[in-house]
Amino acid sequence: MDHFFGVPKMQTLVEQRKNNRTTLSWPVSVWVPQANRFFNGRSTNISKTGVYVRVPMTVPVQAGNMVELNFPRTAMLAEQKGRFARIKTGKVVRVEREDMLRDANIGLAVQFL
């Protein structure tokens, strides 16, 4: 935390999202090329341009990494769409580790490409 004459400075956070988010708790497999493997996680919210995903704290990822996200579809939706998963490529723009001791997970903000 920054200080000004020994007093903590207030910080203003500016909302940078351009699209509305929709709450969505859905299983997601995250391919991390640096680890050469998938990690299972769960989405928290999603928009047209990105998603926030919770994954195990052991996932070796940092801001700037490219990942592939696999969103499995229900059997009925797979019949309609012709595939069993929606696959998106994205860039990790933020990694949140604040709650990792509480639930052994980290949060990834991923921007779709």
Walk along the chain (113 residues) and give the pLDDT tens digit of each residue: 454 455 555 555 555 656 798 999 999 999 999 999 999 999 999 999 999 999 999 999 999 999 999 988 777 766 777 776 788 999 999 999 998 899 999 999 999 99
Give domain status of residue 13, yes or no: no
Decide if 100 is inside a domain. yes
CATH number of the domain within which 37 lies: 2.40.10.220
Dihedral sign computed on CA atoms, order 111, 85, 71, 25 = positive
DSSP assignment of 11-70 = --------S--EE---EEEEEETTTTEEEEEEEEEE-SSEEEEEEETT----TT-EEEEE
Q: Which token pair is 35? A: 């680890």
Residue 6 covered by a domain: no
Domain count, the chain: 1
Whether 5 maps to a domain, the answer reads no
**Domain assignment of residue 90, yes or no:** yes
- Supply the pLDDT for residue 61: 97
pTM tops 0.85, yes or no: no
Q: Which domain holds residue 95?
A: 19-112
